[in-house]
Amino acid sequence: VRSMWTSVMETLTSLKKEEELVASVLDTLEDRLGQCILDGNVVFGIPQLLVHRVEGDVHQCCTGNVYEGKKLNFLVVIMLLNEALRALRDEHCQSELKQFQAVERMVTFCKKAKETLNAKRLEMEQHSVSARASVSRNQEDWEVKWKSFLGLHPFDLISDQDLVSSVQFI
């Protein structure tokens, strides 16, 4: 409900802005009414892309001619301008959608990479625990063998020797 309310408020805000825009244009036209006269001599160039979009529209938002009896039909001109703005908005939204999809793909890739790395980390931790246990067992076995063979631990042999006195200088 909140998102619908937000959508309604955004629509009303955009309509209010459009109304203010049209009012400002009309005010400007009324101020300059004495300075310029719009008549049938004005030539409008409508881009092919816009013509194709308007003609292909199922809802037929823009019906009528730009000129009616050598007079400019402002309603149709405003409809064409609105359709042109919608086309620009749609184009802009598509580019944002492509950017969003690229970011979404990157996030998905990163999540999969993170899961893979976490699985490998857990595997390595388990392997290191078993390797440590194996090394500890091997070390104990070697100490038992040294003690049974020499009667001492190998480190006891090293600590008993005076290493400095055994060094020979050249």
Q: Give the integer Cα–Cα distance in Å for 53 and 49.
A: 6
Tokens of 132: 């440590």
35/71: higher pLDDT: 71
Quick one: pLDDT at residue 102?
A: 81
Instruction: Give residue 169's pLDDT band: very low, low, confident or very high (50, 70, 90).
Output: low
118/25: higher pLDDT: 118
Q: Give the integer Cα–Cα distance in Å for 52 and 12.
A: 29
CA-based nearest residue to 54, from 25, 83, 95: 83
Give tens-digit pLDDT for 110-136.
999 999 999 999 999 999 998 998 988
